[in-house]
Structure 1
């Protein structure tokens, strides 16, 4: 495995919501520990919110008593929003290099462009509902579908088990190159934050071939430990449905990481983004390359692996 090159910016997209504050603090911590600059981006569309204001839906300016909205109103609001965000960061990270960007245009287009060469893009979520459904914002959802770089959707409300605890980073893998990229990202993040790392492969059924599954997972764990000698890493083979298993693990995790993969892998990422208790990172293959990725994908993998536990924590 190899580490991400230093110096690429951590980009965080903000709006007026409390969820953006959580994302901002998360991004600032990540930028500080990685030695990267932080870029705060706010995108606005003044014509669209004007129509929303007429329908009673655009709250920031309506609540401020603005009856007629002009582009200058939105520009002023954007400047105040970004200035406040900058103050939040500098209060806790005085030595962090911070840049701000205010761009007119659709948020998805703006953030995709700003994050094209970033080390990661950080966005806020809309919280987890009482019925177990997270109302993922349309911007976060659209960008996560085809992320230009690793995207982290930060949960602003921690699960009860998260409070006051040093929790592991969990990464879901399946032996493919994109999951190896996710493992590389997760290992780098865990090493920077001093968190333990749990590398998990979830399979639906138990059958023959578990020795092969165990072998490539052990090799991945060894590769991570070689790259980060001080990192506490463990691998687990768990029987179950990938989304359900990873959501359950998220209640005891700081961050859950998966690869950005279309089809089956894509559905796992979407499921986590909508239901996980923790923050979620979705990592595209092109953003993190690892020497182990090719050998893992070329290794013969059984279609129905047996249940096996490398760290004694798999499901019974």
Structure 2
């Protein structure tokens, strides 16, 4: 249980552990150390967060990481935008009990999915987006459902987009649809000639190596609008040039990001004329994962999630990994 939930508390409860001894775990600021890297997943009891939990457990088993299961308790605020209403002891006790029960159920389910994974749970006071963004600072990855993690989360974007924007590590956003991603399918990665495109491609190669699958690198181009008639063949020649330039972009990035370890990962290239999102989705019907950079070419500041990443989170029924530059 977490008896200190409420204003002025440290905000952290636990950790409750499963899957083996936890002698090297950070516990509420003690001087012990967490030796192994870990993946953090946020839960709230919704269907979406359950699917995210199962994905995170499987990913932890695949990568050899520990698993941290987090429940954020966002305390109600009333009486004005700067006033935090006091919460009674009974309410605090009930919230604490609910949070711990939720975490216990989640830990049992995660252990069923990945019995080999060492894991722990904790409650954190704060908004889900803020808690998970802060947790990303020392995590290998953060996993979140596309819906859920907030009482007013009635659409994709509120929490998942904010976490993907702020996180200091890759963020997996897991859809809550019933569609089951193809286990043997490729990893589809959206590529452009930006540093974010390179980061996404590098991450996709590493994931493909772990999953023993291939990657499908997709890039897109759009032909310019012209207001004057062109001679026959001019537009065709221009289109061919753009297609070849796009293919060269993929090959150049592959040369940059491949390592000895990922050199044998099979790759295929797909070039699409038209909007990037439609191009990625058209080549992702058999994908087990879509990988995109948090921003694309032309982004000059990191205030909003890139338009391609944001639209994919809205429109796809596949898990999406949003990858930022190394911090």
Place the TM-score, normalised by the shorter chain, in its bin.
0.7 to 0.9
User: How many angstroms does 1:235 deviate by?
Assistant: 1.7
User: How many angstroms does 1:217 deviate by?
Assistant: 1.4
Q: 1:158 to 1:235 in 2, by over 3 A?
A: farther
* 1:117 match: 138
User: How many angstroms does 1:216 deviate by?
Assistant: 3.3
Q: Distance in 1 between matches of 2:94 and 2:157?
A: 24
Q: Distance in 2 between matches of 1:181 and 1:164?
A: 24
1:141-152 matches, cutoff 5 A? 141-152=161-172
**Larger gyration radius, structure 1 or structure 2:** 2
| Among candidates 57, 63, 67, match of residue 38 of structure 1 | 67
**Does 2:275 correspond to 1:241?**
yes
| Among candidates 178, 194, 219, match of residue 212 of structure 2 | 194
Normalised by the length of structure 2, the TM-score is: 0.71
Q: Secondary structure at the match of 2:138?
A: coil
Q: Secondary structure at the match of 1:138?
A: coil
1:107-256 matches, cutoff 5 A? 107-126=128-147, 135-159=155-179, 162=180, 166-205=184-223, 206=239, 208-221=241-254, 224=258, 226-256=260-290
Q: 1:89 to 1:256 in 2, by over 3 A?
A: same
Q: Distance in 1 between matches of 2:313 and 2:133?
A: 18
Q: Deviations over 1:43-96 (max 9, x none)?
A: 0124359xxxxxxxxxxxxxxxxxx97011111100000111110111232221
Q: 1:98 to 1:165 in 2, by over 3 A?
A: closer
Structure 2 residue runs of 5 or longer lacking an equivalent are 1-34, 79-88, 149-153, 224-238, 300-304
Q: 1:180 to 1:207 in 2, by over 3 A?
A: same
Q: 1:250 to 1:211 in 2, by over 3 A?
A: closer
Are the equivalent residues in 2 in contact too, given 1:184–1:224 (CA < 8 A)? yes
- Count, aligned residues: 256
Q: 1:212 to 1:46 in 2, by over 3 A?
A: closer
Consecutive aligned runs of 4 or more in structure 1 exceeding 4 Å deviation: 162-165, 262-265
User: How many angstroms does 1:177 deviate by?
Assistant: 1.0
The structure that is helix-richer by fraction is: 1
| Among candidates 277, 289, 310, match of residue 270 of structure 1 | 310
Aligned-residue Cα RMSD (Å) equals 2.6
* 2:18 match: none
Q: Distance in 1 between matches of 2:90 and 2:215?
A: 49
| Among candidates 82, 86, 90, match of residue 111 of structure 2 | 90
* 2:41 match: 12
**Which has the higher mean CA deviation after the structures are superposed, 190-199 or 225-234?**
225-234
Q: Distance in 1 between matches of 2:197 and 2:181?
A: 29
User: How many angstroms does 1:118 deviate by?
Assistant: 1.1
Q: Deviations over 1:209-265 (max 9, x none)?
A: 544432331243455375324422212222110112223333321111111117668
Q: Distance in 2 between matches of 1:273 and 1:117?
A: 24
User: How many angstroms does 1:174 deviate by?
Assistant: 0.5
**Does 2:91 correspond to 1:70?**
yes
User: How many angstroms does 1:37 deviate by?
Assistant: 0.9
Q: Distance in 1 between matches of 2:245 and 2:308?
A: 23
